[in-house]
Amino acid sequence: MDDESRIVKLVSKEGDVHEVPLSIAKMSILVSTTVEEDDEDDDDDDVREIPLANVKNEVLVKIIDFCTHYKQEPMTAISTPLKSSKVENLVQEWYSDFCKVDQKLLFELVTAAN
């Protein structure tokens, strides 16, 4: 079964479960490594549950939205030197709007990305 049709369940810190195509979930190195290790251990194609104990549900939802959109419309590369100090002049509108969140959530998104 290919990664497009396989589903994984990502579980947030609060226990909320999100079913996501494996191809999107594997954009995360943590998820990709977990899946590869699990594939080595057994040969079944069961839906896997991957706990993300340090990721709040609100953050996980945003990450899934970002990865899903990125898969459909990759963000254009930001050229350097920067031609503007405004993000809306550097990337597509969707990505610019994605960054318009409160500072705490933005910090949590950056932390989760690491």
Phi-psi region of 97 (alpha: psi -120 to 50; beta: other; left: phi over 0): alpha
pLDDT of 35: 84
- Half-sphere exposure (Cβ direction) of 17: Cα atoms closer than 13 Å: 8
Confidence (pTM): 0.86
For 78-109, the pLDDT digits (tens) are 989 999 999 999 999 999 999 999 999 999 99
Closest CA to 114 of 61, 54, 57, 72: 54
The tokens of 29 are what? 């190195």
For 47-73, the pLDDT digits (tens) are 789 999 999 999 999 999 999 999 999
